[in-house]
């Protein structure tokens, strides 16, 4: 038998093994699906649904891969690589959990400081090796003594580091956990799926399945994208779908959730408008106060309308959020537009001012909120201090008797939300200014030159050239600022005490969501609030998008 015949026989055998493995994997996935619904009555419904979808997809695609491998099509190789790669990642994560790897990382954080000096020894060995690049050895036939010393210093320093942080004990504990049944299953999975991946990437197998250069490029591209895609699916898309399911349950993070349908949404959106015979008519005369709570009254002469809701805090939070957006977005966008036009000029020192205006955007929210909390102090805060100085100055200058208001910025329900708005506008304005500045620098200078020739003034150029050409940038700035404003949480939570503010004047949708889900443990109800917030944000963004399309200067 020639060498080529022997290679062909081995390739045929490996492909037959892969075909059998894919068929067996499909059967095992289907059997797991049956076992899930017959032998796990205590498992939560959402877990069963997710695992069932995964098992069904694995079974179907694995059977498809077996058929394509039998036909010697490249689709079989692609399917096999994807399934084995995902299964390998799942086994790897499962092995880390069984071995309590993440708990070990926490323990490493407590002892890491003990090993820092020995990491310094490792760094010293690295720099010794770098000296070889500046002072190369004349003897090119053998490795220089400096390189040898560098390598051993690095190895010795790293070994001492591992000893100081008790890494050896951690490795022994990890391997001991993997020696248990669950750990052995995870290790077996890693070996099986790893071997399957390795064999499918061999050149002979690739050639037998008609792999082309374009196929390899596609596989490599998806491989490099896979960490981001898996992170998106596991940490974003998965929790998003899970919260959607929880919004239809009474989940409290303690007991198994029970399906209750639209009850959470009904409680959120259940409102009633009642005409009052007189503005002084009590709510209990017209509304069952066991179900509805008064939210607001609107009086018209001798009559009025009562606005009551099943959950008044949700509607208060929605009102405060919309008021916050109504003021914070213009105060963040309009000054940024004006500042960007000033900073786009050729005056000296503009680069310095660009950096100054951008600094609040990169500062920590916690630090900013604490500083503003001190500035807002009604007794010793600088804001009230300068207001007092200004009033005294005008009273003395014009012999007036203006009374110092002594504004209780965060203690008065009339000013608490406005105080939050000022902080948000101050912090966001710099980032929006940079975005507008980038848009201004993309406007062709010939347009302004032509307008100057036609006799247009500064104001005419701004209205006829700058604003229309900045429409795409303005749409992006307004949209992102609105979305950010609808999700306001950090400033309110840190600045106000309690976060809801006096008489719930600063309670927002995200804050109410946090209070419902993580303080009152009504996670099903909190999920419903989150999806209502998503619908509101999506609606506002869609309206802005439609307005942008109608007013775009690029539309033909």
Handedness of CA 278, 283, 288, 294 (dihedral sign): positive
- Of 253, 287, 309, the last residue of a domain is 309
User: What's phi and psi for 301, nearest 5 deg?
Assistant: 70, -120
Is residue 55 within 8 Å of 33, Cβ to Cβ?
yes
Q: Which helix (H) or strand (E) holds 199?
A: helix 181-200
3-state secondary structure of 275: strand
CA 327 vs. chain centroid, Å, equals: 25
The pLDDT of residue 554? 47
Dig out the tokens for 241 from the structure: 């779908």
Handedness of CA 197, 201, 205, 210 (dihedral sign): positive
Same domain for 285 and 399, yes or no, is no
The pLDDT of residue 288? 65
Same domain for 375 and 391, yes or no, is yes
Q: What is the pLDDT along the chain (556 residues), one digit of tens a residue?
A: 577 777 778 888 888 998 999 999 999 999 998 888 888 787 777 778 888 988 999 999 999 999 999 888 888 899 999 999 999 999 998 898 888 887 887 777 778 888 888 888 888 888 877 776 666 665 554 456 777 788 888 888 888 888 888 888 888 888 888 888 888 999 999 999 999 999 888 888 888 888 888 888 888 888 888 888 888 888 888 888 888 988 999 888 788 888 888 889 988 888 877 777 777 776 666 666 667 777 877 777 777 888 788 888 899 999 999 999 999 999 999 999 998 888 887 777 777 777 777 888 788 888 888 888 889 888 888 888 888 888 888 888 887 778 878 888 888 888 899 999 999 999 899 899 989 988 888 888 888 888 888 888 888 888 888 888 888 899 999 999 999 999 999 889 888 888 888 888 899 999 999 999 988 889 999 999 999 999 999 998 888 888 777 665 444 4
Same domain for 298 and 327, yes or no, is no
Is residue 361 within 8 Å of 461, Cβ to Cβ?
no
Closest CA to 296 of 322, 276, 268: 276
| 3-state per-residue secondary structure call for 328-390 | HHHHHHHHHHHHHHHHCCCCCCHHHHHHHHHHHHHCCHHHHHHHHHHHCCCCCCHHHHHHHHH
- Domain membership of residue 145 (yes or no) is no
Is residue 504 within 8 Å of 316, Cβ to Cβ?
yes
Exposure string over 12-24, b if 16+ CB within 10 A, otherwise e: eebbeebbebbbe
What is the extent of the structural domain holding 535? 313-551
- Domain membership of residue 478 (yes or no) is yes
Question: What span, in angstroms and rounded, lies between the C-alpha atoms of 92 and 196?
Answer: 15
- Domain membership of residue 195 (yes or no) is no
Same domain for 282 and 366, yes or no, is no
- Of 246, 281, 309, the last residue of a domain is 309
The total number of structural domains in the chain stands at 2
Handedness of CA 495, 497, 499, 504 (dihedral sign): negative
CB 144: neighbour CB atoms within 10 A? Answer: 17
Q: Tell me the sheet residues that pair with 297.
A: 306
Reported as half-sphere exposure (CB side, CA atoms, 13 A), residue 59 has a value of 14
Strand intervals (E) in 224-270 = none
Same domain for 360 and 435, yes or no, is yes
Is residue 53 within 8 Å of 32, Cβ to Cβ?
no
Question: What span, in angstroms and rounded, lies between the C-alpha atoms of 75 and 212?
Answer: 12
- Domain membership of residue 296 (yes or no) is yes
3-state secondary structure of 147: helix
Is residue 438 within 8 Å of 344, Cβ to Cβ?
no
Question: What span, in angstroms and rounded, lies between the C-alpha atoms of 221 and 78?
Answer: 13
DSSP 65-90: HHHHHHTT-HHHHHHHHHHHHHHHHH
CATH number of the domain within which 338 lies: 1.10.3720.10
- Domain membership of residue 60 (yes or no) is no
Same domain for 420 and 504, yes or no, is yes
Same domain for 280 and 343, yes or no, is no
Question: What span, in angstroms and rounded, lies between the C-alpha atoms of 556 and 538?
Answer: 27
Handedness of CA 130, 136, 139, 141 (dihedral sign): positive
Question: What span, in angstroms and rounded, lies between the C-alpha atoms of 66 and 49?
Answer: 26
Same domain for 297 and 409, yes or no, is no
- Of 263, 290, 309, the last residue of a domain is 309
Is residue 420 within 8 Å of 324, Cβ to Cβ?
yes
Residues 6+ apart with CB under 8 A from 247: 264, 265, 524, 527, 528, 530, 531
Q: Which helix (H) or strand (E) holds 261?
A: none
Strand order in the sheet with 303-309: 271-276, 303-309, 293-300
Question: What span, in angstroms and rounded, lies between the C-alpha atoms of 14 and 209?
Answer: 12
Closest CA to 263 of 254, 245, 252, 250: 250
- Domain membership of residue 106 (yes or no) is no
Same domain for 300 and 324, yes or no, is no
Is residue 126 within 8 Å of 150, Cβ to Cβ?
yes
Same domain for 474 and 537, yes or no, is yes
Where are the alpha helices (H) located in 401-522, listed in sequence order?
Answer: 416-441, 445-453, 458-461, 467-469, 471-486, 490-495, 509-514
- Domain membership of residue 488 (yes or no) is yes
Angle (deg, nearest 10), helices 101-134 and 167-178: 130
Angle (deg, nearest 10), helices 312-343 and 416-441: 40
CB 210: neighbour CB atoms within 10 A? Answer: 12
Handedness of CA 417, 421, 422, 427 (dihedral sign): positive
Same domain for 323 and 305, yes or no, is no
Same domain for 303 and 428, yes or no, is no
- Domain membership of residue 393 (yes or no) is yes
For 76, counting Cβ atoms within 10 Å of its Cβ (0-12 exposed, 13-18 middle, 19+ buried), the class is buried
Peptide bond into 498 cis (omega under 30): yes
């Amino acid at each position: 038998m020639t060498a080529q015949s022997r290679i062909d026989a081995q390739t045929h055998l490996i492909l037959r093994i892969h075909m059998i493995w894919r068929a067996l994997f499909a059967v095992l996935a289907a059997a797991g699906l049956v076992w899930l619904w017959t032998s796990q009555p205590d498992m939560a419904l959402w877990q069963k649904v997710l695992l069932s979808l995964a098992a069904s997809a694995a079974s179907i695609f694995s059977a498809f891969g077996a058929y394509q491998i039998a036909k010697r099509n490249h689709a079989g190789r692609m399917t096999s690589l994807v399934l084995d790669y995902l299964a390998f990642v799942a086994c790897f994560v499962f092995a880390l959990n069984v071995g309590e790897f993440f708990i070990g990382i926490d323990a490493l954080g407590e002892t890491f400081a003990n090993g820092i000096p020995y990491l310094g020894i490792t760094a010293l060995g690295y720099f010794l090796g770098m000296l070889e690049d500046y002072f190369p050895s004349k003897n090119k036939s053998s490795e220089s003594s400096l390189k040898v010393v560098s390598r051993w210093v690095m190895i010795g320093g790293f070994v001492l580091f591992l000893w100081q942080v008790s890494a050896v004990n951690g490795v022994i504990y990890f391997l001991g956990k993997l020696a248990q049944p669950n750990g052995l299953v995870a290790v077996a999975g890693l070996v099986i799926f790893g071997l399957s991946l390795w064999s499918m990437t061999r050149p002979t197998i690739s050639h037998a399945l008609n792999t082309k250069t374009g196929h390899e490029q596609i596989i490599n591209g998806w491989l490099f994208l896979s960490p981001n895609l898996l992170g998106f699916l596991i940490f974003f898309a998965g929790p998003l779908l899970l919260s959607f399911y929880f919004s239809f349950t009474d989940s409290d993070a303690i007991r198994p959730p029970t399906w209750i349908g639209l009850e959470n949404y009904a409680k959120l959106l259940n409102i009633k408008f009642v005409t009052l015979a007189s503005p002084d008519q009590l709510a209990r005369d017209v509304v069952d106060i066991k179900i509805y709570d008064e939210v607001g009254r609107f009086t018209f002469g001798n009559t009025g309308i009562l606005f009551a809701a099943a959950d008044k805090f949700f509607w208060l939070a929605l009102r405060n959020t919309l008021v916050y957006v109504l003021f914070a977005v213009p105060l963040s966008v309009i000054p940024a537009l004006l500042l960007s036009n000033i900073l786009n000029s050729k005056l000296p020192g503009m680069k310095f001012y660009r950096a100054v205006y951008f600094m609040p955007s990169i500062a920590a929210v916690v630090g900013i909120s604490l500083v503003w909390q001190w500035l807002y102090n009604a007794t010793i805060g600088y804001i009230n201090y300068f207001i007092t100085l200004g009033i005294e100055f005008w009273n003395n200058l014009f012999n007036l008797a203006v009374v110092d208001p002594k504004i209780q910025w965060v203690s008065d329900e009339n000013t608490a939300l406005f105080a939050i708005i000022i902080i948000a506008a101050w912090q966001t304005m710099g980032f929006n200014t940079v975005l507008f500045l980038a848009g201004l620098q993309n406007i062709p200078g010939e347009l302004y030159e032509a307008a100057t020739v036609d006799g247009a003034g500064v104001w005419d150029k701004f209205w006829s050239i700058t604003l229309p050409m900045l429409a795409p940038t303005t749409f992006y700035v307004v949209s992102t600022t609105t979305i950010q404003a609808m999700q306001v949480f950090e400033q309110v939570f840190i600045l106000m005490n309690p976060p809801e503010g006096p008489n719930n004047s600063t309670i927002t949708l995200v804050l109410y969501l946090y209070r419902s889900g993580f303080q009152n443990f009504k996670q099903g109800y909190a999920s419903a609030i989150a999806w209502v917030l998503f619908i509101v944000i999506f609606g506002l963004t869609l309206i802005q998008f439609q307005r942008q399309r109608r007013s775009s200067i690029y539309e033909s």
